[in-house]
Amino acid sequence: MENTTTRDYENQSADRSGSSTGNISDKASQMANRASGMVTDAMHRAKDAAGQYMDSEPKAHPREEHREGPIARAIEQQTAKLPSDAFLWAAVGSMGLSLALEMMGEEKKANFVGHWAPTLLIFGLYNKLVKLQGSDGV
């Protein structure tokens, strides 16, 4: 039996069909073009489907039934006057006080004061949002 190498196979193939490398690259190019078209088509269909469910422009004003009440608005106007870093420093202070109480052996008090920090940080975040977005995001 004769051992055929890859080069011999390519030469035999080229002799039979003219230029096999050209045919393979043409087929690969055609497949790539077809795949590109399919991807583009799928992207357009997805964009159209998403457009049905999404507003292109955000709503500038919240609906009337979702507006804040007068008490919440008054509280937010007063707390917006506080600097946002006041809440950060209060949270850091509560952590320091908690550490001091823990070192003094007052574990329950230290645990209680230590739980103030996340609440104060959330208040600071809310304060910052109210300052940036306004009471009703207007």
User: What pLDDT, on the 0 to 100 scale, is given for residue 1?
Assistant: 45
Average pLDDT over residues 101-106: 94
Arithmetic mean of pLDDT over the chain: 77
What's the pLDDT tens digit per position in 15-73?
555 555 668 888 888 888 888 888 888 887 877 776 666 655 555 565 666 677 788 78
Using the predicted structure, report yes or no on whether residue 110 has a pLDDT greater than 60. yes
Band of pLDDT at residue 128, cut at 50, 70 and 90 = confident
pTM: 0.48
User: What pLDDT, on the 0 to 100 scale, is given for residue 62?
Assistant: 58
CA dihedral 104, 109, 111, 115 (to 10 degrees): -130
Average pLDDT over residues 80-109: 92
For CA atoms 90, 91, 94, 99, the dihedral sign is negative
What is the distance between the alpha carbons of residues 96 and 94, in angstroms, rounded to a whole number?
Answer: 5
What is the distance between the alpha carbons of residues 46 and 40, in angstroms, rounded to a whole number?
Answer: 10
